[in-house]
Chains A and B, each alone.
Chain A
Amino acid sequence: MAYSLLHLAYLIGSITFIVGLKMLSHPASARKGNLIAAAGMAIAIFGTIFLYEDTSDIHADGHLRNYAWIFSGLAIGCVVGVLAAKKVKMTAMPEMVSLFNGMGGACAMLISIVEFNHLLGPVSFTISLNDTIGWSNNANNLLQSLQHLINGVSPANAAGKLVIIMLGMLIGTVSFTGSVIAWGKLNGRIKDASFKGQHIINLSLLGLLLVLVIYAVAAYYKMVDMSSSSTNPQLVIRLLFYSVLVLSALYGILFVMPIGGADMPVVISLLNSFTGVAAAFGGFLYDNPVMLTGGILVGSAGTILTILMCKAMNRSLKNVLIGSFGGGAAASNGGAS
């Protein structure tokens, strides 16, 4: 009963997001649309808090715990959010949006980190087994595989879960650091900075990130599949995961750093759609339809909005993103368009 109510709440939430976005794109209904989306969000959030049940959780009855933590987190967030939104000057609103967007990205990043550690299991468990009983790593792997079998997870599904976690973290982190840099730029605290060949470094960094993700997922698949040849697959995967975390934070900074202050709204809109995609990965992770629809909607609408904003400024997105890398590149791009 409670669970079907939750599904109803998620359905209402998804519909209000669609209707809200639609109304937000017409001047007469925009304000109402915002309120409708906010109401739908409240329904989805409180529905989750009170009605959520995890049917696959074998340790407890599946209800959520730690209500004190949840409510104090909500209270702190509400107070700070309301104060920040009320106090901000009208002219400083875009940078506020950027900062809130970064918060969303950071939220997605933190979720992924917790879920990653949850997926691999606590560190102390494996170490104590190795130390006290002196089991070989093979036996250790076997144990883990058994654990996965008990939980009903096939290697492919487990690896798929890691893909979702890592991509969600990557995009969330890029959005987080990028938005903070964008906020600083609009604030005037951070100056534009670019160096020669930065777009080559950015592209290779992005390539490296993807390779690391693929490598980590492959290592994890082998570990679950009991065919790992590595001495300590867990350590390798952890190392890969955290290097992806650090490198994507760096990528977010390098990505926004060279873009001129006047183009910031376009970049914020782009990062906005990134966070939407990160939220959608969270929806995949929890099989949660409202996170999925909300995230993907923002992801696609945000991308289109970014392109529209570029058009309104008489520029192309490519121009905004790579046009400002170094004087020469900007000149040649300007000539081409």
Chain B
Amino acid sequence: MDTLLNFLSDHIELVYIVILSIFLGIEVIGRVPSVLHTPLMSGANAIHGVVIIGAIIVMGKAESDNYAALILGFLAVILGTLNVVGGFMVTDRMLEMFKGKKDRK
């Protein structure tokens, strides 16, 4: 119990960020029209690609003789970049198509 409380108080700022972000996330997209569901999903998909920052840190910290870490980190950077770049591009293409449809009507 004591250790748990200590852990909580050591990271209390992060805990606050988590709680506030949860409510923010709910509020921000609360009234999205259903046509935007898929682009929003795709956009959110690109945003969680922020995990690539972790991959960059892993890669940058790896000792140059630690091949396992180097290779795994390298793969992680590639996959994370794919997530970010691909995610934003696909979302943009979706929204472009969406706009075109509306103009024709």
Contacts and interface: CB of A to CB of B under 8 A. Distances in A.
A and B bound?
yes
Contact of A73 (B28, B59, B94, B95): B59
Interface residues of B, number: 84
Contacts of A269: 37, 41
Given A48-B53, A57-B61, A93-B93, A101 B7 contact: no
A159 B7 CA distance: 10
A276 B48 CA distance: 5
B45 A115 contact: no
A235 interface: no
A8 interface: no
Contact of B18 (A18, A279, A296): A296
B54 A299 contact: no
A31 B88 CA distance: 10
Given A17-B47, A44-B53, A304-B26, A81 B92 contact: no
A120 interface: no
Contacts of B50: 13, 17, 41, 44, 279, 290-291, 294-295
Nearest to B15: A284
Contacts of A82: 85-86, 89
Contact of B88 (A41, A159, A295): A41
B46 A37 contact: yes
21 contacts: A21-B40, A24-B40, A31-B99, A34-B91, A48-B56, A52-B56, A65-B64, A77-B85, A80-B78, A80-B86, A93-B38, A93-B94, A104-B87, A107-B83, A159-B3, A275-B48, A292-B21, A296-B18, A297-B24, A298-B45, A301-B40
B44 to A, nearest CB: 5
A69 B25 contact: no
Contacts of B14: 283-284, 287, 292
Interface string B3-23: 110110011001001100111
A81 B82 contact: yes
Task: List 10 tightest A-B contacts by C-beta distance, closest first.
Answer: A77-B81, A64-B60, A300-B25, A73-B77, A85-B89, A81-B85, A156-B3, A81-B86, A294-B50, A296-B21
Chain A interface helix/strand/loop/mixed: helix
Given A156-B3, A301-B44, A302-B44, A25 B79 contact: no
Contacts of B83: 81, 100-101, 103-104, 107
A298 B29 CA distance: 10
A34 B84 CA distance: 12
A291 B29 contact: no
B59 to A, nearest CB: 5
A85 B98 CA distance: 16
